[in-house]
Structure formats: structure tokens, C-alpha cells
């Protein structure tokens, strides 16, 4: 991002803060509060140790303050008043002191630098305290801890992104793509999973603890493990497949991108599966727009998978029959995607704007987004197709098993699976893909 773009981003950030203040003013009045105190959170210490786990700052705190990783700090928001940021800045020669960037947003806050992690005292009135705060602290403040209706309303305020937030998500994507290119090259150079992860981190210029989620880097069968959590140190002898699901954060905002590559030892059918899943994703993105029901898109993904599995000769029945018998669900047990923002699985995906619960359909329990799309939402679009024996094997004994070509399944199994994931903004006219092409 160059200086002119940064200046524009800073202006957009100020407009974002102004709109946020107006939204909080309205909500505080509606819910009868004089203010909210938002805690950034803090990292957990390992038991009986002096080392800490990695840490993500609370989303509602970062909605205001664009400092991912800031801990033990507090933000007091009151109607019509400049927000007060109590910054934890201990006198500590073991660590580098807390500093704020030379950016315009800093002047929008009244800032107090304090040595202690204890919360600021609250003025007289009714306050809510939000975040990972214990009940005793809330009691000592005389504040209500995470009141559900207020929290739900604030969550809803994160669903439609401001121009500033969209720029941040776009930049997170741009940075992540540098990593994805290097990861692809490391795969074609014969790297082990760890080599691919290190290539990703190096090219996207980030340390592991700053990632929005642990990268999923699966070679061959590991590509079928949806949240595969290891990095093999030794290169695979066969270069069949790489599935890499890896992101980036920019000013707290997350990118969440997956690519799947076929290596020199891949079958034609697997290459066809990658192409087919990519086409399904492109077609679904074209269908996006305000007023489009996301669960309907999810259902269309299953229809598309039924057709693709038929074309590849994996399934012998019609696409509707493959969906109806649960065959496509066994090949893709996750949802089409989710809201994206300050959290990779962002808040409020399963509620209406007024807070009414929108649970996922019983046959698709993993669907994280059950809403109707609105302009300003940023969502992931991530169709997938995997050979997961734990899910497919039980079909062998059912009538659906007779509609599956098990030899074709077994030929695909050593490749693991495919997921193609982009981050897409819903616009007034339709949708804009924020993920650059590789
Ligand atoms: N990276 C996790 C997901 O795609 O939802
Ligand atoms: Mn992902
Ligand atoms: Mn995702």
C-alpha cells in the first residue's frame, strides 16, 4: 500500500470511527446504557509456566482500535464523547514498550497510558463491560458483563463492512496471495508441508502467531483432513496434491483463502475435480447479490457437486438423487462459507438483523452462514470435495452405495481432496471478489 492509498485509508478509517460512534450512540440509548467498557483481552499463560499462548484481540475492541495483539487495554465508549483508550504500557525492560503509530485515528481517542492491567474506574451510570472479563472484575466495576442483547446488537454492527473495512480485507487478501504463490512454487519444487508453510509465511511477510488461523497445509491424503493441523518435516515421494488454506491479517481484518494444486503424479480425474470445483465456485459467485439466500447457494453447491461427481464417473445416479441420498454431503461435509471480518468465522452468521436465531438446516449442521446476503457483507465462498473414508464408508452398506463407483473413489483417495476459497464482497449490483488471481 503506497502513501496516497494509506492517506485515503486513514480518511476512510476516520469516517468508519465516526459512523461507529453514531451506531454506538443509538444502541446505548436503545438498550439503556450510559456506556460500554471493552476489554482487549490478554494471552493465557501455560499452566505452571511463565510462557503465554498466542492471542487474538477481542473483535469489538479492534472494530475501533486497529492494533491486533494489543493486550490488557480498555476502551470506554460513551454517547457523544470521544472514546477513551486506556493503553497498557508497563515500565518493563524485558519487552519493547507499547507505542502507537503516527496515524490520524490516534487523535480520535483520548489516550491514557497506564502501567497496570486494571480497568479504569467508571463514571456514575449504567455500564456494560464487554470481552474476556471475569465476573468479579465486572462486579467491582458495577457493570453488566457481556449483556446478550447488547452484544448481539453490536455483533450485528460488524456484519456490513465500511469502506475502510473493505480496504483492509482487500489488503489482507493481497498480502496473502504473495504467500499462496510462494507456497504453490514450494509444492512444485517438491517441498515438505513445513517447507510450504515457511514459504507461505516468508512471502506473505508474517510470523505464525499473527496469522488469523493456523495454515492448513496438506499434501496428498492430508488434503482430506478438513482442519489438518500438522506440518510434515519430510517431503512426500509422490507429488499428487497440495491443499493450502492460509490467510493474513491487516489492521485486524482477516483473509481466508484456499487453493488446491495437482502435482506431477496426480490423476486426470483429480485435475478434473480441481477444475470442476473451481467452476462451481465461479458460478456461485456470479449468483451472489443482495437478497440472495446464502443457504440456497449452499444447496446449489451440492447440486453442482452432484453433477461434477457424475461427470467424473464417481457417481452413477442423477445430481438430485446424489444430493437427496446424502452422497454429496459425504463428499463435502462443511458449509459453503461464512462471514469474514475481524474474526475468520465472523460474528452474527446465524441470526437475523434483529437477533432472531437462524439455525442451520438439520442436514447441514456445519453451515456457518444462514442469512440472506446484503450489500457490504464479506463472505467466503469455499466449495470442496474430499474423499473422507469416515464419511463415505458407511454409504457402502446403503442403497446410495450402489450409485457410487467405489473404484473411482479409491483412485481419488490418495489425492485427499479439493477446496477453492475466495473472499467476496456483496455489492449493490452483485459481488466483487476481493481475492486476486494467482
Ligand atoms: N480457514 C478456515 C475456513 O476456511 O473456514
Ligand atoms: Mn479457509
Ligand atoms: Mn473459510
pLDDT value for 7? 73
Q: Where in the chain is the domain with CATH 3.40.350.10?
A: 9-157
- Ligand 3 centroid–CA 228 distance in Å is 14
239 is in an annotated binding site: no
208 is in an annotated binding site: no
Measured from CB, residues less than 6 Å from any atom of ligand 1 are 213, 245, 256, 344, 382, 421
Q: What percent of the chain has a predicted confidence (pLDDT) above 70?
A: 99
Model confidence at 139: pLDDT above 70: yes
Q: What value does the mean pLDDT take over residues 80-94?
A: 96
Q: What value does the mean pLDDT take over residues 385-402?
A: 98
195 is in an annotated binding site: no
pLDDT value for 263? 98
Model confidence at 6: pLDDT above 70: no
User: Ligand 1 test: best mutation among 213, 386, 424, most atoms within 8 Å of CB?
Assistant: 213
- Ligand 1 centroid–CA 16 distance in Å is 27
Model confidence at 2: pLDDT above 90: no
Q: What value does the mean pLDDT take over residues 112-120?
A: 96
User: Ligand 1 test: best mutation among 228, 258, 333, most atoms within 8 Å of CB?
Assistant: 258
Q: Where in the chain is the domain with CATH 3.90.230.10?
A: 163-433
Given the C-alpha cell 483492509, which residue does it identify?
168
Q: What value does the mean pLDDT take over residues 233-251?
A: 98
CA pair distance 372, 295, nearest whole angstrom: 8
Its pTM stands at 0.97
Residue 105: which pLDDT band, with cuts at 50, 70 and 90?
Answer: very high
pLDDT digits (tens, 9 = 90+) for 193-237: 999 999 999 999 999 999 999 999 999 999 999 999 999 999 999
Are 364 and 326 in contact, with CB atoms under 8 Å apart? Answer: no
Query: Under CATH, which number does the domain 163-433 receive?
Result: 3.90.230.10
Query: Under CATH, which number does the domain 9-157 receive?
Result: 3.40.350.10
User: Counting atoms of ligand 1 from 1, which one is nearest the CA of 247?
Assistant: 1
Model confidence at 391: pLDDT above 80: yes
Taking the CA atoms of residue 368, residue 373, residue 377 and residue 380 in that order, the dihedral angle to the nearest 10 degrees is: 50
CA pair distance 197, 220, nearest whole angstrom: 15
382 is in an annotated binding site: yes
**CA-closest residue to ligand 1 atom 4:** 256
How big, in percent rounded to 5, are the helix, strand and coil portions of the chain? 40, 20, 45
**CA-closest residue to ligand 1 atom 3:** 256
DSSP string, 163-196: HHHHHHHHHHHHHHHHHHHHHHHHHHTT--HHHH
Model confidence at 289: pLDDT above 70: yes
Amino acid at each position: 500500500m503506497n502513501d496516497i492509498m494509506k492517506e485515503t485509508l486513514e480518511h476512510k478509517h476516520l469516517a468508519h470511527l465516526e459512523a461507529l460512534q453514531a451506531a454506538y450512540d443509538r444502541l446505548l440509548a436503545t438498550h439503556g446504557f450510559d456506556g460500554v467498557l471493552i476489554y482487549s483481552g490478554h494471552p493465557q499463560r501455560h499452566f505452571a509456566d511463565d510462557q503465554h499462548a498466542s492471542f487474538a484481540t477481542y473483535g469489538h475492541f479492534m472494530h475501533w482500535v486497529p492494533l491486533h495483539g494489543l493486550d490488557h487495554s480498555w476502551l470506554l465508549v460513551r454517547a457523544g464523547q470521544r472514546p477513551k483508550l486506556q493503553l497498557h504500557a508497563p515500565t518493563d525492560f524485558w519487552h519493547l514498550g507499547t507505542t502507537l503509530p503516527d496515524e490520524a485515528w490516534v487523535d480520535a481517542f483520548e489516550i491514557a497510558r497506564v502501567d497496570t492491567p486494571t480497568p479504569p474506574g467508571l463514571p456514575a451510570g449504567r455500564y456494560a463491560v464487554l470481552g474476556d472479563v471475569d465476573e468479579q472484575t465486572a462486579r467491582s466495576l458495577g457493570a453488566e458483563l457481556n449483556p446478550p442483547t447488547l452484544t448481539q446488537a453490536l455483533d450485528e454492527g460488524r456484519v456490513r463492512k465500511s469502506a475502510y473495512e473493505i480496504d483492509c480485507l482487500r489488503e489482507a487478501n493481497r498480502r496473502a496471495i504473495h504467500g499462496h504463490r510462494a507456497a504453490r512454487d514450494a509444492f512444485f519444487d517438491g517441498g515438505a508441508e513445513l517447507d510450504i508453510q515457511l514459504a507461505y509465511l516468508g512471502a506473505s511477510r508474517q510470523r505464525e502467531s499473527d496469522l488469523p488461523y493456523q495454515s492448513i497445509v496438506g499434501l496428498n491424503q492430508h488434503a482430506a483432513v478438513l482442519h489438518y493441523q500438522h506440518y510434515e518435516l519430510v517431503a512426500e515421494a509422490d507429488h499428487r496434491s497440495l491443499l493450502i488454506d492460509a490467510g493474513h491479517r491487516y489492521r485486524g481484518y482477516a483473509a481466508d483463502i484456499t487453493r488446491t494444486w495437482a502435482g506431477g503424479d496426480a490423476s486426470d480425474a483429480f485435475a478434473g475435480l480441481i477444475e470442476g470445483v473451481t467452476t462451481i465456485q465461479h458460478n456461485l459467485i456470479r449468483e451472489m447479490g443482495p437478497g440472495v439466500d446464502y443457504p440456497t447457494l449452499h444447496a446449489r453447491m451440492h447440486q453442482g457437486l452432484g453433477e461434477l461427481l457424475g461427470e467424473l464417473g464417481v457417481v452413477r445416479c442423477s445430481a438430485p438423487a446424489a444430493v437427496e441420498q446424502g452422497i454429496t454431503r459425504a463428499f463435502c461435509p462443511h458449509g459453503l462459507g461464512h462471514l469474514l471480518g475481524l474474526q475468520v468465522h465472523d460474528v452474527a452468521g446465524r441470526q437475523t438483523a434483529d437477533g432472531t436465531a437462524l439455525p442451520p438446516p438439520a442436514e447441514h449442521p456445519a453451515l456457518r452462514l444462514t442469512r440472506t446476503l446484503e450489500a457490504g457483507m464479506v463472505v467466503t465462498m469455499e466449495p470442496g470435495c474430499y474423499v473422507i473414508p469416515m464419511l463415505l464408508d458407511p454409504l457402502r452398506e446403503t442403497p446410495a452405495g450402489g450409485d457410487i463407483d467405489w473404484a473411482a473413489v479409491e483412485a481419488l483417495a490418495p489425492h485427499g481432496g479439493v477446496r477453492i476459497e475466495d473472499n467476496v464482497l456483496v455489492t449493490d449490483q452483485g459481488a466483487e471478489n476481493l481475492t486476486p488471481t494467482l
